[in-house]
Amino acid sequence: MSLTAKLIQKNLYNINKIAQVAGAARQYSSLPDQRIPEEKYIPGKHGYAKGFGVPTLKAKKAGKFTKKESSVNNESTSKASNKEIDQSKLSPIKQYKLEMAKLREQYREESKLTEQKKKAEAIKKVEEKEKLVAEKKSQLKEKVQEIQQRRQLDQLSSVNVLDGTPLSDVDPKNAFSSIRSFKFTPEYIEERDKMRQSNRFLQADAKQKAKMELLLELFYQSQSFITPDNFDEYVTNALRNVVPMVNSFTFNTSSNDGLVLALDKRQQHILDALDGTTHSGRPSFRQIQEHGDKV
């Protein structure tokens, strides 16, 4: 586009704009003067200034047309009936889509039912919880009433410790009740000492009896213990109960079937070990004892 064409187009645009402004001015001048008289005009509070009339409000646009629920339901039922009627004429793909739509509808109904069940269960749980809370509150209320009754019956009870009941206000007959303080009555202190002493005697007697029973049982069991005094006798009795074998007859060089000789030989082994005459390389008992005496 050339420069002259652009200038002509710009001038035409300015002329049209001026004409629009002039037409608007003529239209405004033709309107009747509706402003409030000057004596009633209060700047910022009431009325309109010179050259300004009452503003004209624009009319609200009508909303979009929305279908009613009844019409929607009718359309859906009519479409479903048409589909059911025309199902035989549909292609296999459309029939498959129709079956899928039915399955989705079925699943939707099932999900609604499950949601309803869950809501009912949640409501039931809330009710049960509220019931438990109410029961606990009632039990607590009963306990409070019981404590208050005990306070009224016995002013020296343990539940009245925090109340600070003065002794001058306490009934003297009430000082020997089953629920009482452990401080204030000398009679109770004396009775308590006697009970403690008798309990100590009973406990000591019970301990002594249990100890004597354990000692008696240990005495009877000690008869079967092996000690240095009865060791030879125990070995002799054990060897007597053994059935003699071929090897045992090699020791028949003395009386009593060689048992004395076997014991003497074992005693000699013990002495050799104590004297350090064995070939194990370990120090003997006598060497250790002599070393301890020197140290």
Range of the domain at 135: 93-158
**Number of alpha helices (DSSP H) and beta strands (DSSP E) in the chain:** 7, 0
- pLDDT top residue among 42 and 124: 124
- Residue 295: CA count within 13 A, CB half-sphere: 6
Q: Is residue 16 part of a domain?
A: no
Same domain, 97 and 138: yes
Tally the domains of the chain. 3
Residue 11 scores a pLDDT above 90: no
3-state secondary structure of 42: strand
| Of 158, 175, 207, the domain-final residue | 158
Mean pLDDT for the stretch of residues 227-240: 73
Give per-residue pLDDT as tens, 60-103: 776 665 555 555 555 555 555 554 556 677 788 888 888 899 99
What pLDDT does residue 191 have?
84
Measure the CA–CA gap between 53 and 35, rounded to whole angstroms.
5
What pLDDT does residue 109 have?
93
* Residue 251, φ and ψ in degrees, nearest 5: -95, 10
Measure the CA–CA gap between 188 and 196, rounded to whole angstroms.
12
| Of 225, 248, 274, the domain-final residue | 225
Measure the CA–CA gap between 167 and 161, rounded to whole angstroms.
12
Q: Is residue 237 part of a domain?
A: no
- pLDDT top residue among 67 and 57: 57
3-state secondary structure of 46: strand
| Of 209, 225, 241, the domain-final residue | 225
pTM attached to this predicted model: 0.25
